[in-house]
């Protein structure tokens, strides 16, 4: 087996799936291409979202592909950086948000429902339990989501996509509301969720080249 687990050259093996599982592979490629076309959302915003989600799934092949696509779509390094920090805030935020379930479990207060809107109110308890760390995270989260090279609306839409990747229902609730307040419409939300869907599925497929390497070793 080759020593390097990730190398740019490995990604070319993805074409092998067109022979190994042709129907499924072709269906995914068609879906992926249709998702990333210009629609209600621009290709540039979709590629910014794709870069953010790729940093959440941890797929280096996806990062490479979508950073290249972003540059072709006219995205700047500053916009890319802001999208990455939205992803960073959301990935960290999902861990913090799930902390309310940890509080319920620790206190034995769950009634069997693992997710309720009202549970999220317990989040503020971390300001007493871990004050400095909690305050630092809130400060970072607010700065990552404020307007900069990207608008608040663009950042909230990216946040919605990432929240669907981390699977945090509290984050979805919060950032859907944030996107709506920033002027997003339901069709834009739907398109950005489809980008997240394509990237989460795409990361599994892209990592398949490592499976091929391992199988053939």
Q: How many CA atoms lie within 13 A of 43 on its CB side?
A: 15
- Look at residue 3 in the predicted model and tell me its pLDDT: 65
**What is the domain class of 15-210 according to CATH?**
mainly alpha
Q: How many CB atoms lie within 10 A of CB 108?
A: 6
The DSSP-derived string for 186-203 is HHHHHHHHHHHHHHHHHH
- Look at residue 23 in the predicted model and tell me its pLDDT: 97
Report residue 61 as tokens.
């092949």
Q: What is the pTM of this model?
A: 0.94
- Look at residue 7 in the predicted model and tell me its pLDDT: 86
pLDDT mean values, one per 10 residues, the chain (217 residues): 74 96 97 97 98 97 97 98 98 96 88 86 96 97 98 98 96 98 98 98 96 93
Are the C-beta atoms of residues 6 and 60 closer than 8 Å to each other?
yes
What is the distance in angstroms between the CA of the first residue and the CA of the last residue of the chain? 5
- Look at residue 1 in the predicted model and tell me its pLDDT: 44
């Amino acid at each position: 087996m080759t020593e390097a687990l990730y190398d740019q050259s490995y990604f070319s093996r993805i074409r092998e799936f067109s022979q190994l599982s042709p129907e499924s592979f072709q269906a995914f490629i068609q879906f992926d291409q249709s998702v990333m076309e210009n629609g209600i959302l621009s290709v540039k915003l979709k590629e910014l979202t794709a870069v953010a989600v790729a940093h959440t799934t941890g797929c280096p092949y996806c990062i490479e592909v979508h950073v290249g696509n972003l540059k072709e779509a006219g995205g700047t390094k500053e916009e890319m950086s802001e999208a990455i920090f939205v992803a960073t805030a959301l990935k960290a935020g999902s861990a913090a948000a799930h902390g309310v379930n940890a509080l319920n479990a620790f206190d034995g207060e769950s009634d069997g429902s693992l997710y309720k809107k009202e549970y999220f109110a317990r989040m503020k308890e971390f300001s007493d339990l871990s004050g400095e760390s909690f305050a630092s995270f809130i400060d970072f989260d607010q700065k990552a989501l404020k307007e900069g090279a990207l608008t608040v609306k663009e950042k909230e839409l990216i946040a919605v996509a990432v929240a669907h990747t981390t699977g945090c229902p509290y984050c979805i609730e919060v950032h859907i509301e944030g996107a709506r307040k920033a002027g997003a419409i339901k069709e834009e939300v739907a398109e950005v969720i489809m980008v997240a869907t394509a990237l989460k599925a795409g990361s599994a497929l892209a990592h398949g080249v490592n499976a091929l390497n391992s199988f053939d070793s």
